[in-house]
Chain A
């Protein structure tokens, strides 16, 4: 396991969550504070108003002027804010002080309205005031008497803080719970990754079997499936390489031994005529060994390409044309003519051009070697499938050989260097790779073998 500097999923999620919760907490705290402050201010404003009203109601007119019988109840009300200092003033006409503290401020706003609240200072401390008007229209006295009551804001602020904290406490608990739960959830979500990592670490180096996706979250299953696909390709390449090596060793052992034996015989042969014959045989053997090697390499290449090269749109007619034009058959069986049978319309399939050419060449060379002329190669369509076929007048391939064509090699024919089997196995591999199969048919003494592939739907353009 390699340690990386990139933050873990958990850390990222938590960081995100903390940012979200932090922002939420700031907003919630602001709201809670505004609400708490408003509620607290309203509650204590009522007390203040109650006290002022109490005092206002205790004013009576006697001896030509207003007289205040200050009620203690007003001060008991104010004492609900136990640590706050208080001030009050009762003012008559023209603001003349009737009783109270001369330094109690008058409201800066309209004093005609009843119950005006205003903020101010009380000897250097923030304070809240209310002004209440009591109007008299008596014979002796007519006019308004203003009662101003003020109080410092200690209790208000304490209540506001209290209300705010009370509102924030459940939020804080919920936030903490949210973080805990998300830690738990993320842990359990990434636990499969740990299991996969352990599974991988504990594997045999050659074990490329798929990792089980059972019970995995969909997001992780996607990665695992992709990894499994990748491992599958790796596995196939790995086994292709393995089989190439073992096949090569197996296939080459007999011919190389024969060549060595013939070479040794040729060295010891003293008769020039006989030696000439032996050398000629040696040369043929070596040539066919070369062909065998070519075929094995091309099969390995085909198997490799079908896994590693992306499919592209290919016109099968083009493949057939290329096979005929390469004129390989001139080398194999000089003088045999191959007829090309293709139509006007293009026959599109999805595949790899190189692999398809190799498959076609193998079909053709099989026919050249084992069939009888006249030979035809062609492309046709049949039941929604595209066929690349080769026809000859020979007996055709034994069905049991064909059925074993999927296997890598036909051991029965392995003694022959230029065996049909290797060629057919290339065709089979190409057919498998491009979702097709091999089709044989017989028609009036003619044998046809075809590589059938799903046809691409013609584009409307």
Chain B
């Protein structure tokens, strides 16, 4: 074998393996999504959305309570997390632009994005559950908000940085104070980007389970009381999947299907917006 053919074969094998790797990645995605779809679709009755859970082993229950609970916890988390995140990002991109402090906070937020979410759960348990003496939807929402803040903060910072500096200068020239420039000019320029960042951060927290385990806890009943234990889809999936009843397993699959579809749609939607607006 000549040196030349050896090089060619080596190159062919390597590129073949890379292609194989890509197919492995796609294979997992299709395998997991397909499995969730096949197993989940069977249990997607109307009752599943309209009924509350029945006792263990009694058929006919649904997860209405968990849907509502999940929505409320996520909505409140968004209401707490988004303003802080957007304002924080504004500081980094505007007032502290280019300063050392801005860099440090940026790096720390990036780290916070990846910090294990279960730690946030233990933190909130110590801070909000133990002192007040009861599990609460508020604690769950706060835990999710903490996970959201760094995500929103970083995207806001990036999106504001994309707004050309000349745009601000034009507004300053008209004598507008900085805060007005930010709100009326800069935010407007970056609105789509910030909005997408918020969408993606919602997708990120909507599937979280670990921080809810010891904060919002769970509830077998329909509850809108944020001061008490709140059911959520993800914790219900955990309970039902670990349980022994076939009916529970079917419902866990169905809930998984709903939550996965929700998150994937938001994620894909967000990416399409980014692509369309920023050619990213």
Q: Do A and B bind each other?
A: no
Residues of A within 8 A of B (CB): none
Residues in B lying within 8 Å of A, measured CB to CB: none
